Structure 1
Amino acid sequence: MKEKVQLTENAMNSIENGAVLYEKDTKVESIALLVKGRVELVADGISMVLGTGNFLGACDVGKELHSFTYYAKDDCAVFVIPVQGMAGIERILAEKPDYRGLLVTSLNYFLAEIKKQLQHLREENESLCGFIKEKYELCDQVATMCGFEVSVENALQKVENSMQQSLQEPEDLGKYYLECAKMPIEAQKKFFCGSQYVAMYHYREQCDVVNEFLAYCREQGEVLHRLFRCLILEEDALFQTVGKLALSLLEKGVRDPRIDQSVDQIVEKINETETFLTEKAGIPIQLDRDKMERLYFALLSGEGQAQEEIEKLDEPGIEYLYESLGQIVEYAPVHMRVKSEFTEAVEAFMSLSDKFARTPEATEVRKNISKLYYEIYEAVVKKSMDDEDIPLAVRLFLDYGFVSEKLLTDEELDTMLQLRPEADQAEDGCRVYTMSKWLQAVYDGVKETSKNEFDEDFATYLRRQLKEQKITQKEMDEAIVDKEQRLHFECQNMFRYASRIINGNVTMFVPILCSDGIFSNMQNSYMTEKRLNDAIRQIEKIDYSIFYRERLVSYENVDINKAIVIERVTPDIILFPVYGRNTIMWQDITGKRRTSKGRLFVPVWLEKELSLAMVQLMGNFRWEKCRTETGSHWNDFRYPSLTSEYSDYLQFYKKNSELSQERKNKIRAQLVQCNNKHKEVFLKDYADWILREARGAMKLSRVARTILFTYCPFSAETMKALEGQTAYSEAAKKYIRDNRAARKSLDMMMHKWTKAGLAVPQEILATVEYLKG
């Protein structure tokens, strides 16, 4: 197809075959009388060809924007007349009486052609609807008879919903002009040439009727497109449903001629409808024919190919994401007002040239999306808990924050569809939850609610509400066991608040996935349970004790009233459906129990390099775990701990005789860089401890190295690699001394079980192994 031609006004123009004369939705500045050749008109829901004697663009002078794109079907000649609105047409009709009859007569025939197209669209819709229903019912009947489970209710409902949008135009719409079109051409021309007023009056009404017919054509075209999607382009489309049934029968060594014949008929119907949509309705279609060809090949090949092809039919495709925003909003069981406002907000966001501009308009649009997003998400995730057939667009919304295919490139969509969440096969790793799975666990009571931004869990929050007399005791008792209130608390507090921090772009944050907000390769930034645990294990190879906690136990059978055992407690990791650069250590424990699991938040699309992000996250976990264990004494040097000794070290570094002046200057620079926050300095030192010191590259001060070796000791394997380096031997002295004392104490305890002829408890043996590093 060639580019739009430059038309010369008040002159005859030669137009090459395939060239564009006018483009849809551009301003009407002229009309063109077709003198030679044919021109194709294409709009939403209609495609038709006009011959000589027609005024191109004349039907849109009043609305000032072209309703069609005009393509030359042959080498054409047109005479171009400049117009400025209806006043321009009035001037032309006043100056050129011959144009009066020609203009009105050509529009009469134009209306008659549009009416024919509309009737064809309606007949095509009714025929296709009947065909799809018939085949779905046959599929259901055969599946039931052969003992297969096939769900067709949702698909049939989609067909019904599509047809409900097919409105019948009034019977008398444009009837006067349609009857005029049946009159002899010369009689029409002679009549309308006689009066400029009569011609102009008819012309105005013709333009209005054209726009009404076009609206009905557009609507019927949309219905046909939706029915075509029900035929081949949806996850539960007729082709996929019947195809899978045919392959399932084949796999069992059964063939049903009605199903085999239906596959042929469906493919034929797909081809016919695709041609109609493209050539008659002006709607371009992108169709992956590989699926049809593979299905045919599998049916011809026999049982061996059947199972493999069933799996391929289930593979997601971009075509399933058509109008994703509409699919998600339709799925969400929320008020129509919320659906409408969210749709409008996302569409406004899509129309922004700079989606992350700091302008008041862009800020307001992003704010509107954020305000409604979490209400939609909460409703969708709750509905999905009882749905075994969640649409692809909805699954991507829940897991990735995806809302519209228009906000991502085709390459990004392809990448997203190819991604698979890899599970971690080892049993000792961190459990990783997608946000939807986590919210379901909270809803079902498997997991406690997370703390909000004020460090309150749900129970604490309710107690404060009761204290402030905002709720009664009865309301509190009911709320504490109410699943929906627990879910709402988790969504509107933890999820909403932490998403912004995780994204890292606090002032311009929007919770939906958008190409303009992606700054790394999606394949590389995608987080899975396996990738996260692999990165964490690399840290554990160095800082082996990070997930181990002390627990007091007693064994009366051997007269041990108090013993300390060590047990491994890995935190849960929750994947947030956002693109972001930050990870969050949200809770190091759940509730009050010291041996409960913590909660770490990670974006499903991580912009940072994974290993660096995990080192920072583990450093955070180390610090907060120590603060919890030591309570109010976390920064009191009289109670030795990681946090108290590090705080003392940074607070009094100027008086520390073990530090050189050069080292003191570096510490001062660190504190300035970290806004005098001791935790931030520790995180930088911890990163050096894991990434550099563990490899023998000494970056820390002697004091910091000793503290870290005492509370974050290197594993035996790492120590062996650093053997012979005096700096590490010195730093390890206190750790080695304490470790020997603990092992000696355990040896004495184990002797009691041996002496009594009893088996040593597993937790004691596990503690012995732990102390070996």
Structure 2
Amino acid sequence: MASVKFTKDQTIYRTGERSSIINIIAEGSVQVKTPFITMTLQKNDILGMFDSQSIYYPFEYTVLEDVTIYQYPYTSISDLAALINNNPTAAGILTSHFAEECATLLDVYSSLYQDCATLYHEANDYYDKYQMFCESYEIEAATLPGIKQLSEYSQDTILEDWLSPYYTDLSDINSANWKTFYSSHPNACAGFIYTASADFMKVLPKCERLYQYIDMLCDLYISDFNLDLYSFYLKLYESLIPNSEWTDLSPIKSTMDTLVRKISKETYFDKTIVNERLKEYQALSSIDASADQSTHQSTSLALKTDIMSELENSIDTILIYAEFDDAASNKFRSLIKQYRELPDRASTDDTTKAIRKDLTNYFYDLYQKAFFKSLTDEAVPVILKMFFYFGYVDEKLIGINHAVELFTMTENIAPDEKHNVFLLYDWLMQIYQGKKEPCINELNVDYTTYLRNLRLSNKITPQQEESAQRNAKMRLQFEFDNMFKLTNKLTQGHISTFCPILSDHNLYKQLRDAYVTAENIHQALDTIRSIDYSAYYRETIFSAPEEGIIKELLQTEVLPDIILMPNIGTRSIMWQEITGKKRTSPARMMLSVLSLEDLYPSMVRLTGEFRWELCRRIQGVRWNDISERSLTSDYCEYIQTYKKNRDLSTDAKDKLKQNLIKARNHSKELFVRDYIDYVMFESNGSIRLNKLARNMLFQYCPFSKEIRLALEANPLYHDIIERYHNKNRANIRTYENMLVRLENNKIKIPEEIKLFRNYLNF
């Protein structure tokens, strides 16, 4: 072993170099920085990745503070095993380091992949809106080179789904536990390190390609050669200003504001170009002035001043209300201040990650304490409602104008009249009051099963199990620890940079445009049900022995429970298709209360996922058994046999192959993609699907009568609609025979059976 010292700012290795030396940091720190990842390596961390004969350095390694490095020779994997055998402590150090490195890179990969999809779809949306504005204002639209030729990012090879959770779990194991096993198994330890290095080098090129693709997408938004979405919108807006007295410019102004916010806050854009180019827009109109004007339209100046006064030091109001102890309160205030002053709150450097992690822990503790305090409060203060509903903590983090607007929005929030859309706070109240059962956890285990498992493992007694079933606080704790914490992170979308506290760096839309209301959700659901009328129906057995009805098979509509999570987010989640074991119980879906994605496509996707998962639930272990026909088994067979299917053209097979790659070879994901096209495009006569996919979707998700009539003349739909009508006529005859039988037996027709006729008439 040799000891070598390097001074601050000295470069130890450059990207792509190799060596025959194992470098372990003894003291000091080394920084690794690329456009998409920044890591700080400290004591006991290792430089580089292992391959069969050398150490490869995928990054440039620069000394952050004077560093001492222990060096060991390496020419083959046997040298690594020998090092571990001679120095058992190294087993824990090496394995812990590589598990954490892989977990960090996989987090980055996940964020890049999601951001890639978001930037691609939003670029197309902005371009479509630009063309729509030009048509509306009767101005010739410019053509943006490359946008229609640029397809959604797809990978040549698929990254296994298990890889990320595998390394995430391994990174939680401390080095002492690694050492316990691997110190006495040096060859196994060397094998793990070699495998982890290979996995790291498998993921890294994917991250680099994703970043390159994102860089291309960024040029479509704003660039230094003025041929981009920003330039197009700017020129259009500028040309319309002289006509502003008789032309409503608010739609394009609102879209322009949203685009500028995205460009300003998204870390992928070149800040030098952005700052210089945005001066052009600032000369035309100030974003802040626009926001002030928007707020002023709904709030008088005097009232706004009162609200601003009430919002001052919001964090203190929340901490005092929750009766947070002094030490924790001071620490939380300090963390909020540090977070607020960060130059980039979405950074992946160690300092920012540590601040976000601590804030997350304090936030959930504070939320729980405040919730229990509110149980005895008949009039919860508006600032606390902002905290409960939106994750609001600090008026400076979200911006005072946004805070004022949020205050007025919160004052006007009313419970959903249809009782199936809930803000998270209201949902937790339903759980506490016993009106709803807790959601399943990430292992698909519900509260009752969880308690039974504890009893079977002798961790609780039967009496404790029975007591826990009725214990409101324990039910709430299960929901809080399992559903709330996980889905809040998932719906926000940026898993590796997650922080539950409301901050303006995540807000790319006007608040009111992002705010998801119960009314918006019901409108989206009604639109979907007007197309796919049977989406939320499921077969049930109706029995009324007292009326003389033993068993009748009916279709019953059960709309999902939708929970709005307190964050600004980019993802919606279909969490569970039923509640407990009862198939007529509602599904549960989660959305961000401030959503950056369009609501209607999100609800269409959730409906597609629900259809798939409900079919899987009904079919059980035979969900993909082609001997028992169902939506899921037919789709699985379709994927497995498409290459030999003569009903598909060569072009259709090639397109399906590409769609499978985009769907990561998941049958469910492919179905959901097809379902979105089916509902949003095929229902309007815009053909997107191949013959087989169209036939399957129409068989299991038939269009409503109005759409069937409109499509009946289309030769692609004529035959399948005719088959549907024949089948439906048979169902109606069966129903009418049932009515005759009941009437002959002088049995009063129950309302449930009468409603079934409505279903048949769809």
% identity of equivalent residues: 34
Answer yes or no: is the 8 Å Cα contact 1:583–1:602 preserved in 2: yes
Offset of 1:522 from its aligned partner?
A: 1.2
Q: Is it true that 1:344 corresponds to 2:334 in the alignment?
A: yes
The C-alpha deviation readout for 1:530-581, integer Å capped at 9, x for no partner, is: 0111111111110111111211124668876432111111111111111101
Q: Who is 1:328 aligned against? A: 318
Q: Who is 2:46 aligned against? A: none
- Structure 1 letter corresponding to 2:734: S
Structure 1 Cα separation of the partners of residues 578 and 641 of structure 2: 31
Q: Is it true that 1:668 corresponds to 2:657 in the alignment?
A: yes
2:438 aligned residue (434, 449, 460): 449
1:513 aligned residue (484, 502, 506): 502
Q: Is it true that 1:356 corresponds to 2:383 in the alignment?
A: no
Tell me the SS of whatever aligns to 2:431: helix
Answer yes or no: is the 8 Å Cα contact 2:335–2:359 preserved in 1: yes
- Report matched runs for 1:690-729 at 5 Å: 690-729=679-718
- Report matched runs for 1:378-397 at 5 Å: 378-397=368-387
The 3 A distance-change label for structure 1 pair 371 and 424 is closer
2:648 aligned residue (641, 644, 659): 659
1:477 aligned residue (466, 477, 501): 466
- Report matched runs for 1:243-282 at 5 Å: none
Answer yes or no: is the 8 Å Cα contact 1:424–1:529 preserved in 2: no
Q: Who is 1:597 aligned against? A: 586
The C-alpha deviation readout for 1:387-432, integer Å capped at 9, x for no partner, is: 12322221100011100001022331232123268789997x5611
Q: Who is 1:318 aligned against? A: 308
Structure 2 Cα separation of the partners of residues 435 and 313 of structure 1: 28
- Structure 2 letter corresponding to 1:710: Q
Structure 2 Cα separation of the partners of residues 533 and 707 of structure 1: 27
- Report matched runs for 1:756-767 at 5 Å: 756-767=745-756
Q: Is it true that 1:769 corresponds to 2:744 in the alignment?
A: no
The C-alpha deviation readout for 1:596-635, integer Å capped at 9, x for no partner, is: 1111111100001111111111111111121112222211
The 3 A distance-change label for structure 1 pair 558 and 449 is closer
Structure 2 Cα separation of the partners of residues 354 and 558 of structure 1: 68
Structure 2 Cα separation of the partners of residues 435 and 557 of structure 1: 41
Structure 1 Cα separation of the partners of residues 694 and 414 of structure 2: 33
The 3 A distance-change label for structure 1 pair 622 and 421 is farther
Runs of 5+ consecutive residues of structure 1 not aligned to the other structure: 1-308
Structure 2 Cα separation of the partners of residues 550 and 721 of structure 1: 28
Structure 2 Cα separation of the partners of residues 627 and 391 of structure 1: 44
- Report matched runs for 1:55-74 at 5 Å: none
The 3 A distance-change label for structure 1 pair 412 and 647 is same
Answer yes or no: is the 8 Å Cα contact 2:712–2:721 preserved in 1: no
The 3 A distance-change label for structure 1 pair 414 and 740 is same
1:530 aligned residue (505, 513, 519): 519
Answer yes or no: is the 8 Å Cα contact 1:422–1:530 preserved in 2: no
Answer yes or no: is the 8 Å Cα contact 2:386–2:410 preserved in 1: no
Runs of 5+ consecutive residues of structure 2 not aligned to the other structure: 1-298
1:633 aligned residue (614, 622, 642): 622
- Structure 1 letter corresponding to 2:534: S
Structure 2 Cα separation of the partners of residues 337 and 478 of structure 1: 35
Answer yes or no: is the 8 Å Cα contact 2:360–2:500 preserved in 1: yes
Offset of 1:314 from its aligned partner?
A: 12
Structure 1 Cα separation of the partners of residues 474 and 449 of structure 2: 14
Instruction: Using CA pairs under 8 Å that are at least 6 residues apart, name the structure with larger relative contact order, 1 or 2.
Output: 2
The 3 A distance-change label for structure 1 pair 580 and 313 is closer
The C-alpha deviation readout for 1:315-351, integer Å capped at 9, x for no partner, is: 9712211111111111113444433333332222112
- Report matched runs for 1:460-475 at 5 Å: 460-475=449-464
2:569 aligned residue (570, 580, 590): 580
Structure 1 Cα separation of the partners of residues 377 and 545 of structure 2: 52
- Report matched runs for 1:722-737 at 5 Å: 722-737=711-726
2:397 aligned residue (367, 388, 407): 407
Answer yes or no: is the 8 Å Cα contact 2:547–2:748 preserved in 1: no
How many pairs does the alignment contain?
A: 463
Q: Who is 1:228 aligned against? A: none
Tell me the SS of whatever aligns to 2:454: helix
Answer yes or no: is the 8 Å Cα contact 2:416–2:422 preserved in 1: no
Offset of 1:377 from its aligned partner?
A: 0.7
Offset of 1:718 from its aligned partner?
A: 1.0
Offset of 1:504 from its aligned partner?
A: 0.4
The C-alpha deviation readout for 1:173-197, integer Å capped at 9, x for no partner, is: xxxxxxxxxxxxxxxxxxxxxxxxx
Computed over aligned residues only, the root mean square deviation of the Cα atoms, in angstroms, reads: 2.4
- Structure of larger gyration radius: 1
Answer yes or no: is the 8 Å Cα contact 1:566–1:763 preserved in 2: no
- Report matched runs for 1:100-179 at 5 Å: none
Q: Normalized against structure 1, the TM-score is what?
A: 0.57
Offset of 1:756 from its aligned partner?
A: 3.5
The 3 A distance-change label for structure 1 pair 638 and 738 is farther
Tell me the SS of whatever aligns to 1:317: helix
Structure 2 Cα separation of the partners of residues 619 and 342 of structure 1: 41
- Report matched runs for 1:363-378 at 5 Å: 363-378=353-368
Offset of 1:720 from its aligned partner?
A: 1.5
Q: Is it true that 1:611 corresponds to 2:597 in the alignment?
A: no
- Structure 2 letter corresponding to 1:405: E
Q: Is it true that 1:689 corresponds to 2:674 in the alignment?
A: no
1:742 aligned residue (731, 734, 745): 731
Tell me the SS of whatever aligns to 1:724: coil
The C-alpha deviation readout for 1:461-501, integer Å capped at 9, x for no partner, is: 22222333333434333322211111111111100011111
Tell me the SS of whatever aligns to 1:541: helix
Which stretch shows the higher mean deviation, 447-456 or 462-471? Answer: 462-471
Q: Who is 2:492 aligned against? A: 503
The 3 A distance-change label for structure 1 pair 331 and 425 is closer
Tell me the SS of whatever aligns to 2:539: strand
- Structure 2 letter corresponding to 1:668: K
Structure 1 Cα separation of the partners of residues 477 and 663 of structure 2: 36
Offset of 1:502 from its aligned partner?
A: 0.2
The C-alpha deviation readout for 1:3-38, integer Å capped at 9, x for no partner, is: xxxxxxxxxxxxxxxxxxxxxxxxxxxxxxxxxxxx
Tell me the SS of whatever aligns to 1:440: helix
Answer yes or no: is the 8 Å Cα contact 2:516–2:593 preserved in 1: yes
- Structure 2 letter corresponding to 1:454: L
The 3 A distance-change label for structure 1 pair 558 and 591 is closer
- Structure 1 letter corresponding to 2:517: T
Tell me the SS of whatever aligns to 1:361: helix
Q: Is it true that 1:417 corresponds to 2:407 in the alignment?
A: yes
- Structure 1 letter corresponding to 2:452: R
Q: Is it true that 1:545 corresponds to 2:534 in the alignment?
A: yes
Answer yes or no: is the 8 Å Cα contact 2:708–2:721 preserved in 1: no
1:622 aligned residue (591, 598, 611): 611
The C-alpha deviation readout for 1:137-162, integer Å capped at 9, x for no partner, is: xxxxxxxxxxxxxxxxxxxxxxxxxx
Structure 2 Cα separation of the partners of residues 557 and 741 of structure 1: 29
The 3 A distance-change label for structure 1 pair 603 and 389 is same
The 3 A distance-change label for structure 1 pair 534 and 324 is same
